[in-house]
A and B are shown apart, each in its own frame.
Chain A
Amino acid sequence: MNPVNVSNVTVAYDRKPVLQEITFDMPEGKLIGVVGPNGAGKSTLIKAILGLIPTASGNVEIYGKSYKSQRKLVGYVPQRGSVDWDFPTNALDVVLMGRYGHIGWFRRPGKKDTAIALQALDKVGMKEYANRQISQLSGGQQQRVFLARALAQDATVYFMDEPFVGVDAATEKAIISLLNELKAQGKTVLVVHHDLQTVKEYFDWTLLLNKRKIALGPTEEVFTIDNLQKTYGGRLSFLDTQVDASHVVQS
């Protein structure tokens, strides 16, 4: 069974359609990159799958059941800029929030949860920052805290919204090795990505999106000039004859 089936999902803000009739299945155990121009609905797609925004039509299933009944199988990394990093709390506390879905009402995180959270911080190389106030972390470190929080969710499918934006080289490397580790464990990860240059290197599969689904499949099959032109239209600033040429960059 596929981890995620999206069928015929349409999302509109006011009267403007943001996503139109999106249908696709996510294959198990793959790293899937989502690319498309600004305003293509990449983040919206994740939010629609997670039920964070209302859909005008369509249906999403996680392992054949509604998202609501499968929440514990799903991990989520929102955009780093979506929260206030001046919030009075430390890194460990933020990672512990990943456990809240497992803890249930009226209970506090226990020793086991703290152990899981510390382990998750360790995996992203942030263990020594556990007690650091989150506003004192660099952008890359904050991103790693977010990833650790998703790890603490102990999910089988992960959705990550632009984890590579504005991070340092060390963090980028840490994220990549983490993604590969998740893949090795048979987990499925969908990552909204903005850097076309690294798509071939990072992702097994690619979803090209611009309000509609342009293509989805193994990266070497669908990440073609033809598809990119369909996705970005005239907006792709520079298209070399070879897609993997190093200077095809779109942010």
Chain B
Amino acid sequence: MSYGAWIMLTGSLVGVTCGIVGCFLILRKMAMLADAISHTVLLGIVLAYLVSHSLEGIYMLIGAGIIGLLTAFLVQVLDSSGVQSDAAIGVVFTSLFAFGVILLSAFAGKVHLDVNHALMGEITFIPWNTLTIGGMDLGPSAVWMLGSVLLINLILIFLFYKEIKISSFDPALASAIGIPVMFIHYLLMSMVSITTVASFDSVGAILVVAMLIVPGATAYLLTDKLLVMLVISAAIGVIAAIGGYYAALVWNISISGSMASIAGLIFAMTFILSPKHGLMSKIIAKRSIVAEQS
């Protein structure tokens, strides 16, 4: 496969993986928690490196998974002991992220990671960092990592679909009928954590939030069915990735930046033009009500 094709495939995998998980964040009104986790996993990655002395995917996923869960757990603890939930997120996320930055700068010589890279990602280098097993070049390791995370997410969502749905819609009834709402919450947060890490190298901590939230928020405006929302969101992720790549080629700009911008552009267009929940349709509906009354 060509260099460009690998980048588009990587970007599309980021779009699909983030887009699907992101839908549940939107429905559970947890966009800010995802933002927090996407930053604190930096600490997880650095710790995983310091413990394992390796930058292999599996250690990163475990490290990030643990820190992601820790973030969700600390926010939950502060929240339930009286701290306002947005303040709780702010405190936990900045503290853990800052700790990650300190470790990163202290061991800068040893870790092949810098803050800039972690924040912005560098999708351009993805195709050169390949996975080789037994002398066989299997393609970029990021693609393998993203593919595995996507598969894990899909399996988890398939297995726990109805539990995730009911605990997102009506947590009170869910726990009354014995569904472990907290387990489902942490399951989703784990999915967000590993998704973030897998996407980290390509788009970085800041833009991964865009890929997590924007496609889901857009899909929410376009459909009234949960399954359809997941599909649309994934599709928007892919369009943003491929569109972003070509836009970056044409204008010679950052690939990850233009991917996130395309996603933002799709959202803006949907927000104005969506037939069901868009600004235009609301204005037209209001006009017709006024017209009927007069």
B224 touches A135 (CB 8 A): yes
Chain A residues whose CB sits within 8 angstroms of the CB of B135 once the complex forms:
none
A71 touches B177 (CB 8 A): yes
How many residue pairs link A and B with beta carbons under 8 A? The number is: 72
Residue interface bits B157-174, CB-to-A below 8 A is 1, else 0: 001011101101110111
With both beta carbons as reference points, the residue of chain B lying nearest to A83 in the complex is identified as B170
Interface centre among B29, B162, B229 (most CB of A within 10 A): B162
A153 touches B225 (CB 8 A): no
B225 touches A78 (CB 8 A): no
B169 touches A84 (CB 8 A): yes
- Closest-CB distance, A55 to chain B (whole angstroms): 15
Chain A residues whose CB sits within 8 angstroms of the CB of B169 once the complex forms:
83-84, 87, 89, 94, 97
Chain A residues whose CB sits within 8 angstroms of the CB of B228 once the complex forms:
88
Chain A residues whose CB sits within 8 angstroms of the CB of B170 once the complex forms:
78, 82-83, 97
Residue A164 is within 8 A (CB to CB) of chain B in the complex? no
Question: How far, in whole Å, are A52 and B168 apart by their CA atoms in the complex?
Answer: 16
Question: How far, in whole Å, are A105 and B159 apart by their CA atoms in the complex?
Answer: 8
Which of B168, B174, B179 makes the CB contact (< 8 A) with A87? B168
Chain A residues whose CB sits within 8 angstroms of the CB of B179 once the complex forms:
100-101
A103 touches B162 (CB 8 A): yes
A100 touches B166 (CB 8 A): yes
Residue interface bits B114-153, CB-to-A below 8 A is 1, else 0: 0000000000000000000000000000000000000000
Known contacts A14-B82, A68-B178, A88-B223; is-contact A108 B162 (Cβ 8 Å)? yes
A90 touches B162 (CB 8 A): no
B168 touches A76 (CB 8 A): no
Residue A130 is within 8 A (CB to CB) of chain B in the complex? no
Residue B108 is within 8 A (CB to CB) of chain A in the complex? no
Residue A74 is within 8 A (CB to CB) of chain B in the complex? yes
Question: How far, in whole Å, are A169 and B37 apart by their CA atoms in the complex?
Answer: 48
Residue A166 is within 8 A (CB to CB) of chain B in the complex? no
Question: How far, in whole Å, are A83 and B28 apart by their CA atoms in the complex?
Answer: 11
A52 touches B224 (CB 8 A): no
Residue A238 is within 8 A (CB to CB) of chain B in the complex? no
Residue A8 is within 8 A (CB to CB) of chain B in the complex? no
Residue A50 is within 8 A (CB to CB) of chain B in the complex? yes
Chain B residues whose CB sits within 8 angstroms of the CB of A50 once the complex forms:
176
Question: How far, in whole Å, are A109 and B228 apart by their CA atoms in the complex?
Answer: 19
Question: How far, in whole Å, are A82 and B159 apart by their CA atoms in the complex?
Answer: 27
Which of B166, B172, B225 makes the CB contact (< 8 A) with A76? B172
B177 touches A100 (CB 8 A): yes
- Closest-CB distance, A51 to chain B (whole angstroms): 8
- Closest-CB distance, A79 to chain B (whole angstroms): 9
B177 touches A101 (CB 8 A): yes
B176 touches A88 (CB 8 A): no
- Closest-CB distance, B74 to chain A (whole angstroms): 20
Question: How far, in whole Å, are A97 and B165 apart by their CA atoms in the complex?
Answer: 9
Residue B27 is within 8 A (CB to CB) of chain A in the complex? yes
Residue A7 is within 8 A (CB to CB) of chain B in the complex? no
Residue B175 is within 8 A (CB to CB) of chain A in the complex? yes
Which of B159, B165, B172 makes the CB contact (< 8 A) with A52? B172
Question: How far, in whole Å, are A133 and B177 apart by their CA atoms in the complex?
Answer: 24
Residue B265 is within 8 A (CB to CB) of chain A in the complex? no
A109 touches B175 (CB 8 A): no
Question: How far, in whole Å, are A160 and B170 apart by their CA atoms in the complex?
Answer: 15
Which of B166, B176, B220 makes the CB contact (< 8 A) with A71? B176
Chain B residues whose CB sits within 8 angstroms of the CB of A76 once the complex forms:
172-173, 176-177
Question: How far, in whole Å, are A47 and B172 apart by their CA atoms in the complex?
Answer: 9
A52 touches B177 (CB 8 A): no
B162 touches A52 (CB 8 A): no
Residue B9 is within 8 A (CB to CB) of chain A in the complex? no
Residue B87 is within 8 A (CB to CB) of chain A in the complex? no
Interface residues of A (CB under 8 A from B): 14, 47, 50-52, 68, 71, 74, 76, 78, 82-84, 87-90, 94, 97, 100-101, 103, 105-106, 108-109, 133, 135, 149, 153
* 12 pairs, A vs B, C-beta closer than 8 Å: A68-B178, A78-B173, A82-B170, A88-B27, A88-B229, A97-B169, A97-B170, A100-B166, A100-B177, A100-B179, A101-B178, A109-B162
- Given A84-B29, A89-B169, A97-B173, 14 other A-B residues pairs in contact with their CB atoms under 8 A: A50-B176, A52-B176, A71-B176, A74-B176, A76-B173, A76-B176, A87-B226, A88-B224, A88-B229, A89-B226, A90-B225, A100-B163, A101-B179, A153-B177
